[in-house]
Amino acid sequence: MPTTAKPRETGVPTSAAKSAHAPRILAADDQQHILDAIELLLKPQGYAVETARSPVLVREELATNSYDAVLIDLNYTRDTTSGREGLDLLSEIVALDSNLPVIVMTAWGNVELAVEAMRRGARDFIQKPWENERLLSILRTQVELHRALQHAERLAAENRLLSAQGRPEFIATAPSMLPVLDTITRIAPSDANVFLTGEHGTGKEVVARTIHALSLRASRPFVAVNTGGLSEGIFESEIFGHVKGAFTDARTDRIGRFELADGGTIFLDEIGNVPLRQQAKLLRVIESGEVERVGSSRSKQVNVRVISATNADLQAASTKGEFREDLLFRLNTVEIHLPPLRDRREDVPALAAHFLAQYASRYRRQVHAIDPAALQLLVQHSWPGNVRELDHTMERAVLMCRSDQIQPSDLGLGLQRAAPQNLEELSLEAVESILIRKALQRFKGNVSQAAEALGLSRGALYRRMEKYGL
């Protein structure tokens, strides 16, 4: 039982004073008067305290709620002093969440038991009867450390995304884009899930970012995920996260994309590639708002708006049993179809000028304009790779340009016409690029059909398309 030392008024954790949420502590002991004493000590200091009388109740609490620290006894059975129950519980908690600080306490403290508890992952050890000042000091330190680790984990995940993603500008003046603009204006301020359709490279991520920027979630994260590039083996880890030890390479805890997007928007590109088994788990998260990391039995509530995109006919896939109909209904609150670039040629000059300025600045090239003949070639081109292909073409043109104006020869668009006669003069990569362009053009941007015709998997074709800027 505790000593009578009176705690200082300054015992409130620094992080608690600055946070809208009081630090949550889970205290576990088989004796009710001990739990009452802990509550009497901690609640006036700004802590929210939950109690449990057994390891079973501790497991239930940790499976359904989040805490900033756990304070556990080592013995729960009468006349038991080995500490075995508490040590086993400690090992379970550390396996569940290695960042969650656990402080162990026992009336039968000894050096060997303390060493074993620390070896198993306890952050500190306290003997009953405890000193109030020491207990408060330990909790204050561990809560602040836990919150700092959580913040660092989130920043690391955000930095990984920001380093790989830019903020493309939305350019749309063609008549065929007016319905798209009208729908974006109407639905962006809401929290409705949005389903984007259209050929590969039509700018679905740009539209998703625009919707996010116009929403009430604009100040919160926008997290983009190319589900087409995720194998089934890593899908759950990337989307939902994992805990340390969940599988062979899980050396640390990892925050998932849904958790990272909490309060903001998640963009699931190429949603049609998600395997059926994973579709069920995705549906559960969208319906319940609860995310469970791989290897963990604890769920976390998240508030995320879902924008998804595909170039496949998911209605047909649903009829064939290849895509869950209930998931499609959840995703498709509002559908926006993006026309291919060949159907919005009026936007080509503005898009080309935008990419020209972007790459001239990036590569520090004194290129300021596009020759009229080159511009005419751009407008007349069929663009099987859509806006993404135009982007890649302008990047190449800026690098190849020998004057202050882009010339037709800088664009490299004549390669397709010259290919049949001059294949022997081209590199393997150039030939591969031509074949992929032709396949995409033949199947009107349908990646699945193009991949089948080329004898590639969808994933392999996606990697090559990214390589060649298609």
Report the mean per-residue pLDDT for the chain: 82
- At residue 108, the pLDDT reads 61
323 plus 350 within the same structural domain: no
Task: Check whether residue 38 and residue 109 sit in a common domain.
Answer: yes
Reported as a pLDDT band with limits 50, 70 and 90, residue 13 is very low
Domain that holds residue 102: 9-148
Question: Are 187 and 327 contained in the same domain?
Answer: yes
Residue 153 inside a domain? The answer is: no
Q: What is the mean pLDDT of residues 78-84?
A: 70
| 312 falls within a domain | yes
Give per-residue pLDDT as tens, 322-343: 899 999 999 999 999 999 999 9
Asked if the structure places residue 35 within a domain, the reply is yes
The answer to whether position 49 is within a domain reads yes
> Among the listed ranges 29-33, 135-139, 146-150, 413-417, which one has the minimum average pLDDT value?
413-417
Q: What whole-number distance in Å separates Cα of residue 325 and Cα of residue 334?
A: 15
CATH code, domain carrying 285: 3.40.50.300
CA-closest candidate to residue 68, choices 48, 88, 41, 53: 48
What pTM was computed for the model?
Answer: 0.60
> Do 298 and 274 reside in the same domain of the chain?
yes
Which one is predicted more confidently, 446 or 87?
87
Does residue 154 belong to any structural domain of this protein?
no
Number of domains in the chain: 3
Average pLDDT on 161-190 reads 76
Q: Residues 181, 290: one domain? A: yes
From CA 364, how far away is CA 153, in angstroms rounded? 36
* Same domain for 136 and 21: yes
In this structure, are 217 and 84 located in the same domain?
no
Q: How confident is the model at residue 205 (pLDDT cuts 50, 70, 90)?
A: very high
Q: Is residue 155 part of a domain?
A: no
pLDDT tens, position by position, 258-276: 999 999 999 999 999 888 8
Could you say which of 106, 129, 148 is where a domain stops? 148
Residue 158 maps to a domain: no
Angle at 59 between CA 53 and CA 61, to 5 degrees: 80
For residues 330 and 345, state if they share a domain. Answer: no
Q: What is the pLDDT of residue 460?
A: 78
CATH of the domain at 55: 3.40.50.2300
Do 112 and 213 share a structural domain? no
The last residue of a domain, from among 337, 361, 388: 337
309: Cβ–Cβ under 8 A, 6 or more apart, which residues?
Answer: 195, 196, 197, 198, 204, 205, 208, 267, 268, 269, 270, 271
Residue 392 and residue 429 in one domain: yes
Quickly count: other Cβ atoms within 10 Å of residue 402's Cβ: 9
pLDDT at 418: 40
Do 251 and 313 lie in one domain? The reply is yes
Quote the CA–CA distance of 449 and 35 in Å, as a whole number: 65
- Considering the domain architecture, whether residues 266 and 278 belong to the same structural domain is answered as yes
Has residue 169 been placed in a domain? no
CATH code assigned at 422: 1.10.8.60
